[in-house]
Amino acid sequence: MRADPIPKPPPKLGISHATREERECFTLFQQHDGRKRKTKDIPGWSPIPPIECRDGPDEACNETSETKQGEKPKQNAFDRIMTADQRRRSKKRSSKAVGNQDAEFDQTEFASRYWLDESLPVLSRPEEIFGDIVRRFPEISDLASKMERPLRVATMCSGTEAPLLALELVSRACEVQKESPLAVTHVFSSEVEPFKQAYIERNFAPPLLFRDVRELGSRQAHTAFGSLENVPRQRGDVDILVAGTSCVDYSNLNTCKKTLEQLGESGQTFYGMFEWVQRARPPLVLLENVCGAPWKGMIRNFEAINYRAQAVRLDTKNYYLPQTRTRGYLLAIADEVALPDVIHRWERQLRAMERNASASLEAFMLDAHDPRVQAAREDLSYKKKDKEDTPWDKCEARHARVRIEEKLGQKRPLTNWVHGVNAASLPDFAWRDWAGAQTERVLDSMDIDYMRLVKRREDANFKTSVWDLSQNVDRSDPTKAKLGICPCLTPSLCAYVTNQGRPVVGVETLALQGIPIDDLLLTRETEENLTSLSGNAMSTTVVGSALLAALLSLPMGVLGRIGIVDSKACARHLDTNYPVQHHSTRGSDRHANVVRSQVLVREPLELGATIPKYFQGAGSFAERVLHAASQSAKRCVCEAQRTNSSSRVLYCTACGHSACEACAGKPEHTQYKVDCRGRVSPEEFEVALGLALPTIVTLSGLSTASLCKLRPETAGLSRNLPASKKRKSEMGAIAQTALDDEVWRRWVEIVSHLDRASFRLVEMRRCVECWKVRYTDASSALVLELTLGGVYGIVWHAFVEPPRGRGPLRDRLEGFAVLRGFVESTGDSLLDANWSLRLPIDDDIDLELSYDGPVVESFASSFGMEDENMIGKQRYSHINVKVLKGASYLDEDVSGRYVLLHKCAAPLGSLHKRLGNDRPELYLFLESKPVGPAALDTYVFARDWRRLALREARSSLVCSLQRGWHPLECTKDKANVTEIKTSTILGRWVPISADISQVNAAAYTEQVQTAISVNVSSPWNASSILEIAVDLGDLCATSVSPVWGGASTVHPEQWKSLTLRVVGACGAVASASKMALGFLVPRLKLPVALSVWQTVQGGSRLAAKVRAGLPCCTTCAPL
C-alpha cells in the first residue's frame, strides 16, 4: 500500500488575522521571545530523530543536543517569566511539565495529600463528578450554548473510549444545568484488540472502526470487520484527535525498552498516528502515555510540522478519583489556529481544574451480592490445576528476609495458610473461596502486610487499605500507601481491599477510571478482559479535564476559524466529501423508540400506606412488623438481599455476633451456639414492607422559628464555659466548645431544610439483624432512614448534607443524624414516633477507670512478633468505669464493670462488654475510621459494635473517650491501676414536637391486558406494555410519558424526567434510575400477559437464519 505525498503544512497564524485579544498576547510573546522555529519537510514514514536520551521520571536528562555537558540549559525571557510565576504560585501543584529538563516531581506534594480530602462533598458517580466540573467552570456550558455544529472527535488506541464517555457526561451536565448540550460527533476509532473492538462497536457504534493505527497514513485502511474503507483525513474532518498509543516499550515493567527511532510497537503506533496528523492536521491533538515515554522526542516531531506541543504529568487522584495513576498528557495545537500563548493557557487551566478525591475506594465498589460481583467471584475463585506447582523459592527467601528485618515473626494470623494445603482461613466476612485459589506467595504477602499494619496500631480488617498482591512484599509496603486510594490500575493488578475482604473486580476497576459502568453493555468480557480494559484506559476525569482545558484556552476567534462557533466559518471549513451526521458519541440510531402498538387499560395505583395480609394477626401493627423484620434480617454476611444461608446459623454467647457454619470460625469468638430463632422469607417480607410503608412522606415541625426556640437551652452552656476553652473536633479541626452565634445560625439554616421537605422511598436494604428503609428528597441532600430491628427496635433518623469545608459544624453533621424518632412497639402506625433533635453541642464528662482481673496477651504480642516493643506485652481483662461528673448528659449510664472479649471481632481485639443482666448491653471498643489515620481513632461506648459502612456514624453511640487513649498495659509492680479521663458526648439530644406524614399522591398505570405483540423486524421500536403517571399536586405534575418531574419546595434542584439513553448492563433502567423509581417499584405489578409465553412474529424466519448460520440482525449482529 503506497503512501501518497504529505501536503505542505499551512502557514502560521499571522498577526493580521488575529483578534484583538490574540494580538495583545502575540505582542507580549514577541517582547519576551524573539526566536523563530524551523520548519522541516518530512517524508511520509520517516521518523524524526528524537533526542538522544530519554526523559522519563527516572531518567531525567540534564543535557540536550544544543547544550554542552555540565552547562545549564538556556531559557528565553518568556520561559524565565513563566518559571518564576510557577515557582511563586505552584509549589504544590501536581501537573508538572514532563518535557522540562529540570522537572523533578516533588514527593512532598504527594505526602501532603496522604488522606482523602474530607472537607469536600463525597462525589463518586460519574454524573455527579462531571456535573460538579460544569458547575465550577460555567464557561463550559457557555461554550456549548454558542456552538454552531458538533465537535468532531476521533480516537486511536483509546480502549474504553474514555474521551468520548467524558464528553458525553459533560454534554449531559450542560444539558441539565443550562439546557445546552455539548454536541459531539464521533468520526472514527482505531483499535487492534478484538474484544476491545467488540466493546467499542457494541457501546459506541462509530461510523468507522479501523483495525490498525499504522495503516491510517494511507488513503484506505482495514476496518475491524475486514473491509477496506477510506480514511477521513481531509482538513476539517476532525477537530480533536485523542490517542493513547502503545506504552509497552516505555513501561517501567519492561526490561527491554525501546526508543522512538527503534520502531518497536510503541514507536510504530506513534508514527502511524503521527502520519495521519500530518495529513489531516486536526487543530487539537491530545496524547496519553506513561511518564517514561520519550516526550521530548514527541514534542520535537510535532514542532517540526508546525504544531506547538507541551506535555504535563497528571495524577488521577487529583481529579476526583481515588486512584494513584500518574500519566503524561501531551497537547499539540496547530500553528495556523493558535498563538504561542495558548499552550501555556492550557497548562494553567488544567491546573485550575484539579479537585482532590473525596470519595474512598469503597464508594466505587459494588455490593458484594451484585450479580456482576458474584460472576467475577466465581471466575476469580477458580482453582488452577498448577497452583500448587507454582514455584516461589526466590520470593520465599525475600519474604523471609522481610520477616526478619522487620521483626514480624513467623506466624500467619490473617490467612493461617499451610504449605501444600489448598485452603486459607480468612475472616468470616472475606472471600475464602478466592483465597483458596491464590498461591502461597500471595497468601504469605497478605500475612506480612497485615502484621506490618498491626505494628502501627492499625487493624487492616477495619481499614480501607488496598494491597497490591501482584508485587512482592519488598516492593509493596501498605504502611506507605494511602488509605482509601487504589494503586495504579494495571492489567495484572490484584488489588485486595482489606475491610471488604475481597479484591477489586473488573467492573469496579472501570468505575475507578470514572467510567459509567451502568451505561455500558458488557456481555462476554471476562475478568481478564475487564482488567485489561481498565488497566490501559484513560481516566475520564483526567482526559475530560484535558480536553475541556484545551477548548477553554482557545479564544472565540480561534474557535470561529475552526468553524465550531461561527456558522460561516463552519461552512468554509466543512468538507462535503465526508459528511458526518451523528451528533452523539453513541449514535442517534441507538436510541430506543417507545411506541404504543397496543391498547393500554388504565388502573389506579395506590401510593399510600396499607396493611397487607402478611402483617395481619395478634398484637399491634408495629410489633408484628418488628417481629417479622427480626426473623427475616441477615444473620450472616454471606446472605444476600433475598436469600438465606443454607447452613445452620451460630451466634456468640458473649458478643451476640452471628454467622453460618460455613463462615464461622474466624474470628474465634468466645463461644458459639446454634441460633434457634425462627426465620421467614426475606423476599416475602420485602414485598409486604413495600406495601406497608408510604412511598412519599413529608416532615413538619422543624421551621426556623421552632428551632430558634431551642436556643435558650444552649445559652447556659455558652455562659458557663469560658470562651477560651477549646478542643479538637472529630476530624482534627479546632472548634470552640461554647456555641457561638455563627455556628448556631448556620446549623438552624441547614436543619430547617427538613421542614416540609418531600421524601420519596429509594430503597429497602436488608442488613445484619435489621432492615433499613431509605427516603431522599429531590436533591439527595436530605435523607430519612427507617431502621427496623436492632438495639432500638423501630426508629427514624434524619440526615442533612454537611457544609463544605472543615469545621465543627461539618464534624457534627457528617454521618450523624440530626433528628430521630422512636416508634412505640404498641403503636398501629410506623409514622407515630417520639422525636428528638441533636443540638450542635458537645458535653464533657469525667470518668474514673480502674484495671484489674487476670492478664492476657496484647493483640500484637499474640502474633509472635519479635519486635522488642511487642514481646511480652499484656493487658488487663477487666475495666471498671465510674462516672464522676456529667452523668445527666448521658442517654445511658456507662458505669459498670467491663470484661475484655479479646477473641471477638473488634479492631485490635479491643471489645469490652459491660457485665450484668439487669442493664442494657453496652460495649467499650476502638472505633476505627476506614480512611483515617490510626491517630484519629477513638475508644467509644455504644449499644452495638457492628462493622460500619463508609462514612456511616454509629447511631447507638453514647460517648467517646479522648483521641489517642488506649487501655493501660499491665505493669509488674501494680496489680490495680486507676486513671481519670474525659469523655465527650457528641451532640445533645432534646425533645421536639415534629411529625412525619404521608403525601397522598394520585397515580395510575396503563398496561396491556391481552397477548403482547412481539415483532423482531424493527429492533429499535419497543412496544409499550406499562406506563405510569403520578400527580403530585403542587409539588410536581407529570404526564404519562415521564415517570416523575417537578421541583422540590425546599431546594432549587428539580425532579427531572427519566429518559432512556442506552440500555445498560443491568437492563433497561440503570442503577441511578432505579433509585429514582424506588418509590414506585414496590407497588408495580407486571401485566398478567407476561406470565405466559408470547408468540414472536417472524420467529420461524429467525430460527431458519440461526440454523443456516446467517446474520440474524444487521443492527445487533452485523456479521
Which of 964, 895, 887 is closest to 924 using CA atoms?
895
Please tell me the distance from the alpha carbon of residue 492 to that of residue 1026, in angstroms, as a whole number. 46
Please tell me the distance from the alpha carbon of residue 527 to that of residue 522, in angstroms, as a whole number. 11
First-to-last C-alpha distance (Å) of the chain: 26
Please tell me the distance from the alpha carbon of residue 212 to that of residue 196, in angstroms, as a whole number. 13
Please tell me the distance from the alpha carbon of residue 397 to that of residue 408, in angstroms, as a whole number. 15
HSE-up of 604 (CA within 13 Å, CB side)?
5
Whether the upstream peptide bond of residue 150 has omega within 30° of 0, thus cis, is no
Which of 64, 67, 35 is closest to 51 using CA atoms?
64
Please tell me the distance from the alpha carbon of residue 205 to that of residue 576, in angstroms, as a whole number. 22
Strand duo 593-595 + 1021-1023: pairing: parallel
Please report which helix (H) or strand (E) contains residue 581, including its range.
none
Please tell me the distance from the alpha carbon of residue 989 to that of residue 1002, in angstroms, as a whole number. 37
Please tell me the distance from the alpha carbon of residue 459 to that of residue 665, in angstroms, as a whole number. 18
- Active-site positions? 247
Tell me the three state secondary structure of residue 511.
Answer: helix
- C-alpha distance from residue 1041 to each of 521, 541, 748, 1028, 1044 (Å): 25, 33, 39, 8, 9
Which grid cell is 534?
481498565
Give Cβ neighbours of residue 939 (< 8 Å, ≥ 6 apart). 910, 924, 925, 926, 927, 960, 961, 965, 966, 967
Please tell me the distance from the alpha carbon of residue 443 to that of residue 426, in angstroms, as a whole number. 10
Which of 466, 471, 489 is closest to 537 using CA atoms?
489
Please tell me the distance from the alpha carbon of residue 771 to that of residue 692, in angstroms, as a whole number. 14
Give Cβ neighbours of residue 546 (< 8 Å, ≥ 6 apart). 286, 314, 329, 331, 350
Please tell me the distance from the alpha carbon of residue 299 to that of residue 287, in angstroms, as a whole number. 11
Please tell me the distance from the alpha carbon of residue 223 to that of residue 801, in angstroms, as a whole number. 51
Please tell me the distance from the alpha carbon of residue 594 to that of residue 1018, in angstroms, as a whole number. 12
Tell me the three state secondary structure of residue 382.
Answer: coil
- For 595-616, b/e burial (b = at least 16 CB within 10 A) is eeebebeeeebebeeeeeebbe
What is the chain's Cα-based Rg?
Answer: 32
- 984 DSSP assignment: E
CB 778 within 8 A of CB 713: no
| DSSP symbols for 935-971 | GG-EEEEES--PPPPTT---TTEEEEEPTT--PPBP-
Please tell me the distance from the alpha carbon of residue 580 to that of residue 206, in angstroms, as a whole number. 11
Which grid cell is 503?
479484591
Which grid cell is 905?
471481632
- C-alpha distance from residue 1024 to each of 508, 1015, 1074 (Å): 33, 12, 19
Please tell me the distance from the alpha carbon of residue 32 to that of residue 815, in angstroms, as a whole number. 54
